[in-house]
Structure 1
Amino acid sequence: MSESGSCTSIINLRYQDGSEGSSSNPAKFKNQDYAQLKDNYRRRRQLFVDSAFPPNNRSLGDLPSLTSWQEDDVEWLRPSVKYTQNISDEPTFCTKGASRFDFGQGSVGNCWFLAAISSLTFQKRLMAQVVPLDQSFSDYAGIFHFRFWRFGKWVDVVIDDYLPTYNKQLLSVHCKGGNEFWVPLMEKAYAKVCGTYADMSSGLPSEACKDFTGGVNMTYSLRREHTYGHDDELWLQLSRATGCKSMVCCGTPPKGGSNANTIGHTGLVDSHAYSVTGVTECYGSTVRLVRLMNPWGKQEWQGEWSDKSDLWDRVRPEDREKCADREDGEFWMKLEDFCYYFSMASISCENPNFLDGDLDVQWQCMIYDGKWVAGRSAGGNVNNCEPSSFFYFQQSFQGKCSDKNILLSLMQKPQQEYRKKIRYFPTPAGRLGSSFFRRNRPIKRSQQYSSERELIELHSLEPGEYVIIPSTMKAYTPGEFVLSVFTKSDAKIT
């Protein structure tokens, strides 16, 4: 993906730099202090074993790809043990920088997570935030750490380096060099956040991208965009996204109602996540091409503009160089084919700059924690329930009205420790009387509810005072949420 352009920062009005939960001072996940633990184990000349995420089947979970007797044969080993066949080199954390070509998916069905990692490797500053690259096996105590943005704040996640193996091979993601371990260790840290490795099975890349950026996600239905003749707008968004150094991922639809990763005649994998690693134009801008990456590290598109397509022989030499004929999982395809064979694409960025391509404007962000409490603030559907029991946020908005100048993100917090058991309620300090709703018409008149972790809306607002009401579809539904309000720098939150 293009390294051109720059992305302006977010002015976070809640987590000022240095405060706990900010990017420079992440909160300690499970109250584990990485620096203190590492120092203690080094002084005692012992290797860290994580009791909060122990190296056993409890942390592995019930993986669909393993039978019960295979689970019994899973062995947890440290990278310092020469268990990987044909590799004699000493283990390393990260060699010559992180690359999307470093790894291939293992037996955990987490292509969505690995597609997001592939996209993350293009963002060097974000990469250093999520994956502290000063870690190594030379200053060794069997302990590593990674950082993720989780429900309103950054957290630092500590792990030991025991990794699950089967038949002396890594069960999870593996680095192609054999002796490099930043990806399997990062996967383990995220598995700890999710509850188990099995809890990482199936998901959306936008979820992981959100946890890598703490920023904004926008999802597009590709077939709908193409059907309604919005190819130009979609191409503009993809081009802006690469210019803003956004993370872009996509997915193919399931086949026949099954989520199985079957391989079609096109070479594409059904019900599978990919990352978008670049866009370009050929033939004087008449052909728009999208470059994609399969997190398997192999298995590529076989249609027009694929690695072996003779169409590459008809373009300028400088365009021909963009195509690398190798089995690495990366390939090009036409925008029209991209929209036809892929069902969705998500763009994730630290801020909403990619929405209008304005790289100079700064955005302010205010983050609120809230709760739906039965009988107090869980009023349910605004149209059908008692309006005096809604939680509301009062927001003054000052500044000139420009196109799409405020973005709202409502994210539900999990009520379960294990990701696969989480159920999100259909959603869109004080109480509002019913008279308020009779006197004031809502900006958004129609209300649709969705059982997703995060809902995002973009609006154009005139200066004024607004009330934001997060609600669930049904009344008396308890839960916790994070509301993020992004506004352009020519607007002011009070």
Structure 2
Amino acid sequence: METREHHGMFADPDFPADDSSLFCDYTTPLPKLLGDVTWLRPQEICEHPQLFPDEPAAAHPKQGILGDCWLLCACSMLLKNQHHLNKVFPPEQPLWGDRVYRGEFRFQFWQNGLWIEVRVDDRLPCINDTLCFSRCQSPRAFWVALLEKAYAKLRGSYERLWAGQVCEAVVDLSGTIAVRWSLKEAESPRQPNDSQTQHKPNGTKLSDLSLELKERCAISCCVHSASTGIPELGQYHAMSVMEWTIVTMITGEQVELIRIRNPWGRRSWAGVWKEGGSGWPSLEPSCAQALLGRTAEGEFWMDEAEFQHEFDEVTVGSPVNEAGHLQSIYTGSYLTHSHQIGGRWVKGHSAGGCRNNSTFSINPKFWIKVCERGEVLLSLLQYGCPDSPAEGGGLQHPHLQAIALHMWKVEKKHFNLNRMLNKPPLVSHTHTYDREVVLHAHLNPGFYLLVPSTFLQGAEGRFLLRVYSSCPASLSVMKSPPVQHCSEGEWETISSHSCWSPGSTAGGSRNFSTHGLNPNIPLTVTYDPGGNNTKVTLRQHRPENSLHAIGFHIYKVPDGESLLTPCATSPVVSCVPHAHSQEVSVFCRLQPGEYVVIPSTYQPELSAHFTLTFTRRIHRKAVQSQELLGHVVQEVSCVSVMRR
């Protein structure tokens, strides 16, 4: 591998021009390039390089030897929306020929709710002095190659772009919500509706979208198996939908035509609407000439029936206007209110799995308050973790959990949580190995309970919950219910806040006779099914640079007594030695009975506030549910990736 350096030019130390930026695990065909790649700056590849060509059609991406058609479909989306393009690729950056140009470019990508900046140099991988990965149709334009490099840096290497989902790239390049619809499955049965909601199921048809919406949306189409009309495609290839139009044939019949762009940059369609095909004579010559005149290199037309037959799936990204308002693909209305909040599934604490598990109720829970009837779009997006496989050895997707989102309408201020969760959800999305799942509903005013979950119990991960609505609404975390309302749950968590005060409650460790002055926090254990059943966590509220050494002891209160004399009693469990840590904890087994937990600093007479948290196992019946991990056909489509 060879690199040519220029004095004074920026060379990115975090994404160097060597094999570490090309490869990650050598599991794709890409390592065949070992030793053949040189890294050149655009001015070394051609004379007078440009970011964007003078001819708009020449700005479209053309796929190289890297299998990232899924990313290039999202790049084509940017060319249809100047607002999105300026967000991802901020304008007015120094270019070749400018006196201050140093070979550095800045990009922005939407990641887990935030726009983050990625800087790269302009050294690009080439073979025989020609770009070997994606490029523009114009050999002098470099915006696609530079964006691809920035996205490869974001993902870790070029090899990590070999396969992926169009919907993920669309979201990363716009911050919108994208959904995937199968063109081959029969429409799934609608869920039971009441007066509160009219849920649009995953079986929504592309034909449900108005022509105006189709033009505004970012839409791509893909094949999962070898195509009959496009024999060269093979499996897993994505294309961009560039235009929808309805034309009137000479017979008076109307037909919907779709202009499609192949990222390979060549026309690959043998149907009746190919150039010179049998469909064009059925149109007025002027109409046919106008449509054919709009086809650029790599583009072709097909009608709706051919589209439905040839492609297996479409990805639809919701339009977002310059004010940041998302437009509903179901109604066309702008959802002018939006909220987002993060969360996580933690094993043994908030990773309860699906509704088949008795631990479902420990999953994170959120409130949506809807102030007036309106349209609501909900998204659960899990944070990707490309460096580690899914928990539980998931075989369907190497980096993602199977996730779902359920929603219940809560009619009363005081309610039994477990009884509520045993009822069928008002709206839900089945568990699937997607980065993001989406719900759509029309909701009446009131409170709604949202529960995001993984299919596997104990599967850990972080997620972002987003809510877009046409009406005023709020999103908040549901606080843990009081102890007396949790008797049926398998685990419950309660917290106690107190402080060590010099002269009264700062007694120090058991080395000091004043140990008993520390706060005495009662703990009741009622259920012992065997194994660890109690977790106690002590957290001090002090700056990191001034932490005290903290620990605690758990004492058993003798049966029939209500008071404890720590100096005359040995603890049954201790969290020692005292540690200069923000938080210390112990996970143990305690027999049913009354206990006292005494948290302390090692030295007496030290001041600090603290929180003591108890997580206890308690008896609860399993939820009556037979939840399945999607349908077989759905699973196949959910995990397929566009790699050709």
What's the TM-score, normalizing by structure 1?
A: 0.79
Give the deviation of 1:329 after TM superposition: 1.1
Q: Residues 183, 445 of structure 1: CA spacing in aligned structure 2 closer, same or farther, 3 A cutoff?
A: closer
Give the deviation of 1:327 after TM superposition: 7.2
The residue number in structure 2 matching 1:301 is 269
Specify the SS of the correspondent of 1:50.
coil
The residue number in structure 1 matching 2:258 is 290
**1:194/1:419 contact within 8 Å kept:** no
Q: In 2, Cα distance between the equivalents of 1:378 and 1:325? A: 53
Q: Residues 50, 370 of structure 1: CA spacing in aligned structure 2 closer, same or farther, 3 A cutoff?
A: same
Amino acid aligned to 2:172: D
Amino acid aligned to 1:49: A
**1:390/1:469 contact within 8 Å kept:** yes
Q: In 2, Cα distance between the equivalents of 1:395 and 1:226? A: 29
Higher RCO, Cα 8 Å, sep 6+: 1
**2:179/2:315 contact within 8 Å kept:** yes
The residue number in structure 2 matching 1:237 is 209
The residue number in structure 1 matching 2:430 is 448
Structure 2 counterparts to residues 146-295 of structure 1, below 5 A: 146-224=107-185, 234-237=206-209, 239-243=211-215, 245-255=216-226, 266=230, 269-270=233-234, 271-283=236-248, 284=252, 286-295=254-263
Residue 492 in structure 1 maps to residue 473 in structure 2: yes
Give the deviation of 1:325 after TM superposition: 8.6
Residues 284-336 of structure 1 show CA distances to partners (whole Å, capped at 9, x for unaligned) of 56211111100111132111112221422331244211123977111110101
Amino acid aligned to 1:94: F
Structure 2 counterparts to residues 111-150 of structure 1, below 5 A: 111-135=69-93, 136-139=95-98, 140-150=101-111
1:426 corresponds, among 382, 399, 402, to 402
1:353 corresponds, among 323, 327, 350, to 327
Q: Residues 325, 452 of structure 1: CA spacing in aligned structure 2 closer, same or farther, 3 A cutoff?
A: closer
Residues 314-361 of structure 1 show CA distances to partners (whole Å, capped at 9, x for unaligned) of 3124421112397711111010110111000111023553424435x4
189-198 vs 321-330, which moves further: 321-330
1:391 corresponds, among 354, 364, 372, to 364
Q: Residues 385, 50 of structure 1: CA spacing in aligned structure 2 closer, same or farther, 3 A cutoff?
A: farther
How many residues in Structure 1 have an aligned counterpart in Structure 2?
Answer: 427
Q: In 2, Cα distance between the equivalents of 1:385 and 1:447? A: 20
Amino acid aligned to 2:239: Y
Amino acid aligned to 1:479: G
Q: In 1, Cα distance between the equivalents of 2:427 and 2:41? A: 56
Q: Residues 326, 338 of structure 1: CA spacing in aligned structure 2 closer, same or farther, 3 A cutoff?
A: closer
Q: In 2, Cα distance between the equivalents of 1:101 and 1:335? A: 27
1:437 corresponds, among 415, 418, 424, to 418
The residue number in structure 1 matching 2:565 is none
Residue ranges of structure 2 left out of the alignment (5+ in a row): 1-5, 190-201, 391-396, 405-413, 476-644
Specify the SS of the correspondent of 2:327.
helix
Specify the SS of the correspondent of 2:399.
coil
Q: In 1, Cα distance between the equivalents of 2:106 and 2:286? A: 42
**1:241/1:247 contact within 8 Å kept:** no
Q: In 2, Cα distance between the equivalents of 1:231 and 1:481? A: 25
Q: In 1, Cα distance between the equivalents of 2:204 and 2:335? A: 26
Give the deviation of 1:416 after TM superposition: 3.5
Percent of aligned pairs with the same amino acid: 29
Q: Residues 67, 126 of structure 1: CA spacing in aligned structure 2 closer, same or farther, 3 A cutoff?
A: closer
**2:66/2:133 contact within 8 Å kept:** yes
Residues 47-98 of structure 1 show CA distances to partners (whole Å, capped at 9, x for unaligned) of 1111111111111013734454x311211111121x4xxx4x2222223375
Q: Name which one, 1 or 2, has greater alpha-carbon Rg.
A: 2
Q: In 1, Cα distance between the equivalents of 2:286 and 2:417? A: 63
Residue ranges of structure 1 left out of the alignment (5+ in a row): 1-43, 256-262
**1:217/1:347 contact within 8 Å kept:** yes
Q: In 1, Cα distance between the equivalents of 2:225 and 2:146? A: 30
Q: In 2, Cα distance between the equivalents of 1:336 and 1:419? A: 40
1:335 corresponds, among 279, 304, 328, to 304
**2:57/2:296 contact within 8 Å kept:** no
Q: In 1, Cα distance between the equivalents of 2:20 and 2:430? A: 39
Q: Residues 100, 240 of structure 1: CA spacing in aligned structure 2 closer, same or farther, 3 A cutoff?
A: farther
Amino acid aligned to 1:407: L
Give the deviation of 1:475 after TM superposition: 1.6
**1:195/1:418 contact within 8 Å kept:** no
Q: Residues 447, 464 of structure 1: CA spacing in aligned structure 2 closer, same or farther, 3 A cutoff?
A: same
1:64 corresponds, among 24, 28, 36, to 28
Q: Residues 417, 63 of structure 1: CA spacing in aligned structure 2 closer, same or farther, 3 A cutoff?
A: closer
Give the deviation of 1:226 after TM superposition: 8.7
Q: In 1, Cα distance between the equivalents of 2:435 and 2:204? A: 30
Q: Residues 364, 326 of structure 1: CA spacing in aligned structure 2 closer, same or farther, 3 A cutoff?
A: closer
Residues 152-199 of structure 1 show CA distances to partners (whole Å, capped at 9, x for unaligned) of 111111001111111222111122322211110010001111111110
Residues 398-445 of structure 1 show CA distances to partners (whole Å, capped at 9, x for unaligned) of 102x5xx111111111234589995111110xxxx9941214635347
- Which is richer in strand? 2
Q: Residues 354, 486 of structure 1: CA spacing in aligned structure 2 closer, same or farther, 3 A cutoff?
A: closer
Q: In 2, Cα distance between the equivalents of 1:492 and 1:159? A: 40
Q: Residues 138, 446 of structure 1: CA spacing in aligned structure 2 closer, same or farther, 3 A cutoff?
A: closer
Q: In 2, Cα distance between the equivalents of 1:382 and 1:419? A: 24
Specify the SS of the correspondent of 1:52.
coil
Specify the SS of the correspondent of 1:424.
coil
Specify the SS of the correspondent of 1:72.
coil
Q: In 1, Cα distance between the equivalents of 2:96 and 2:389? A: 31
The residue number in structure 2 matching 1:19 is none
The residue number in structure 1 matching 2:9 is 47
382-391 vs 369-378, which moves further: 382-391
Q: In 1, Cα distance between the equivalents of 2:253 and 2:71? A: 33
Amino acid aligned to 1:144: F
Q: In 1, Cα distance between the equivalents of 2:183 and 2:230? A: 18
Residues 109-162 of structure 1 show CA distances to partners (whole Å, capped at 9, x for unaligned) of 001111121122111111111122323213310100111111111111100111
Residues 5-30 of structure 1 show CA distances to partners (whole Å, capped at 9, x for unaligned) of xxxxxxxxxxxxxxxxxxxxxxxxxx
**1:413/1:482 contact within 8 Å kept:** yes
**2:125/2:133 contact within 8 Å kept:** yes
Amino acid aligned to 1:346: T
- Aligned-CA RMSD value: 3.0
**2:368/2:473 contact within 8 Å kept:** no
Q: In 2, Cα distance between the equivalents of 1:300 and 1:486? A: 39
Specify the SS of the correspondent of 2:116.
strand
**1:371/1:479 contact within 8 Å kept:** yes
Residue 107 in structure 1 maps to residue 61 in structure 2: no
Structure 2 counterparts to residues 412-423 of structure 1, below 5 A: 412-417=382-387, 423=399
Misfit runs of 4+, over 6 Å: 418-421
**1:426/1:472 contact within 8 Å kept:** yes
Q: In 2, Cα distance between the equivalents of 1:348 and 1:326? A: 23
Q: In 2, Cα distance between the equivalents of 1:434 and 1:475? A: 25
- Which is richer in helix? 1
**2:267/2:300 contact within 8 Å kept:** no
Give the deviation of 1:362 after TM superposition: 3.7
